[in-house]
Structure 1
């Protein structure tokens, strides 16, 4: 499946159409219930059956690398950025022709004509609500499809998710972008899978880049693993065909690992974990 973020640059409806039933929607919990309700209504009407509750961004982390690179709303232009743009004429021309990326899913709720500075303030005001047990219960009651929570990092939170009737959990630390000194997701994955692997669907993201990473994740107890950056590398280098090329590389690498340990099925990888 492809998980579309609330703050993605394509709309719920567009992603549902092009993925042909393979999209999940990741909800950044808004402050206003009316906005949440409308997002859920659009998600259901688009035919998306799995809702992912984002739980690993209780507040925006201090991302020194992004500050240094000028990645902000509005973007901060530096000499380094301008040199990079000048050295990538194809990208620069394409951006000029098609316009800068926007939060397409949120476009109906953003006041028309809002500049980038005020857009940043709007986003902070709209999504500064803290997720809590009552809000998760409300989502469970409201959403009729499968409900997954992303950002589980402890055995206690995994137990609570199961207690609240969620259909699956994604062990994640948001790629280390929120708290880079925090524990790697692979470690709590092993503990959580050992305790609750037979009680819920356990998945993982964060730090997975290669086929061997996928093998390690599956061997450690995940039933599924998610990657993001690897596909961005592929698409950034090769455009539309980059995604398929990335899948081919990952599949080849995973098969090589399985062959090295004489494993015929991915379900048996856990038997080879050292």
Structure 2
């Protein structure tokens, strides 16, 4: 039985979700590509950033609200797009969207969600963003974008780091595919979680509502396993993105940027936001941690466009560190996903409340009274005897010494 009073961290929600889910489903949400080096490094990067807190500052009251891509948000946080949530808990997409709206932060709906564009718009009246994968089926892609515009979504988020799907070896080992293809291995796994299995029998296997009719299931389990990305267009390029920029009348955010030169070009194109992202370590294994990439991207855009970052956000202090490195805010996906899987809307709300409390506490302990006061001055950079500094990028000689 889930007891929210015993959960005090995002990791606690993750463990609660793990107890509820079959291994194959948990691994799909939790895992990354190949050896999962990038998955682990995203998290480790936050540990490499150290803080130098101020003291003797009146922090009896601190302000957590801030501007995120042209609108106010109660936290410097956006709920990231997460696909296939309904396979963890029926109605999970709506649960997360409602929790985000109640918390006063933007919510991003994934193309591969198990709720439709219209279902989310009807259920959650707030700042809604739609994340679009670039499909080979251009007619379907245009239809999705038109539907998002008609439903009042304020921003379109284009994911550009998925020309092909990553190699998710956990999915291969677990015989997991979307649509489901049952095998002796995964049937035993599913049966090991009877509460989850009974809900599947009662409510039916979820459908990726926005991708209905995209393609017929493959006859091969091997081809279906780790199937994310098989319908996406590897030919999508800068000219294609510019066409979308010209057609979409509202905010356009580009997610999946990992190079300073690409970020500068996007800023010049007139994009409204950039998300430094390696897809949560789920695509190219060996890609750098997003927090390590962030300062270079921030420098390259020179303030012309807000920069967000995702990957590995599990603590409120992570949000503070990202902000200190120049991000306007973070995207967090697995945090609210684990909450929703564990306890529906209440669990998703609890995830956001945990991050909010930890961020507020970290700000107070660092001597900052508002999100806008968070700056690079809070970061610890060790001075060496020869006058060099050990900063975030390693040993840097001091000019003239």
Partner of 2:205: 100
Aligned match for 1:31, one of 133, 136, 147: 136
Partner Cα separation in structure 1 for residue 224 and residue 170 of structure 2? 19
Q: Which has the higher helix share?
A: 1
Which stretch of the first structure deviates more once superposed, 151-160 or 187-196? Answer: 187-196
* 1:218, distance to aligned residue in structure 2 (A): 1.4
Partner of 1:273: 379
Helix, strand or coil at the partner of 1:226: strand
1:206 aligns with 2:311: yes
Partner of 2:246: 141
Structure 1 residues 73, 216: closer, same or farther in 2, change over 3 A? same
* 1:22, distance to aligned residue in structure 2 (A): 1.8
1:160 aligns with 2:258: no
Partner Cα separation in structure 2 for residue 191 and residue 249 of structure 1? 30
For structure 1, the residue ranges without an aligned partner over 5 or more in a row are none
Alignment of 1:215-234 (within 5 A): 215-234=320-339
Contact kept in structure 2, 1:12 and 1:46, CA below 8 Å: yes
Partner Cα separation in structure 2 for residue 145 and residue 168 of structure 1? 12
Query: Larger relative CO (CA 8 A, sep 6+): 1 or 2?
Result: 2
Partner Cα separation in structure 2 for residue 135 and residue 56 of structure 1? 14
For structure 2, the residue ranges without an aligned partner over 5 or more in a row are 1-105, 381-401
TM-score with structure 2 setting the length: 0.63
Partner of 1:54: 159
Structure 1 residues 81, 268: closer, same or farther in 2, change over 3 A? farther
Contact kept in structure 1, 2:175 and 2:185, CA below 8 Å: no
Contact kept in structure 1, 2:132 and 2:156, CA below 8 Å: yes
Partner Cα separation in structure 2 for residue 201 and residue 71 of structure 1? 37
Partner Cα separation in structure 1 for residue 248 and residue 335 of structure 2? 31
Structure 1 residues 87, 173: closer, same or farther in 2, change over 3 A? same
1:72 aligns with 2:177: yes
Larger radius of gyration: 2
Partner Cα separation in structure 2 for residue 127 and residue 37 of structure 1? 14
Structure 1 residues 32, 22: closer, same or farther in 2, change over 3 A? same
* 1:136, distance to aligned residue in structure 2 (A): 0.6
* 1:251, distance to aligned residue in structure 2 (A): 0.8
* 1:131, distance to aligned residue in structure 2 (A): 2.1
Partner of 2:48: none
Helix, strand or coil at the partner of 1:151: strand
Partner Cα separation in structure 1 for residue 195 and residue 206 of structure 2? 16
1:258 aligns with 2:258: no
1:171 aligns with 2:171: no
Partner Cα separation in structure 1 for residue 186 and residue 252 of structure 2? 40
Which stretch of the first structure deviates more once superposed, 195-204 or 114-123? Answer: 114-123
Partner Cα separation in structure 1 for residue 351 and residue 203 of structure 2? 25
Partner of 1:244: 349
1:191 aligns with 2:296: yes
Partner Cα separation in structure 2 for residue 32 and residue 78 of structure 1? 30
Partner Cα separation in structure 2 for residue 209 and residue 80 of structure 1? 32
Partner Cα separation in structure 2 for residue 177 and residue 43 of structure 1? 26
* 1:20, distance to aligned residue in structure 2 (A): 0.8
Aligned residues, how many? 271
* 1:77, distance to aligned residue in structure 2 (A): 5.1
Structure 1 residues 192, 73: closer, same or farther in 2, change over 3 A? same
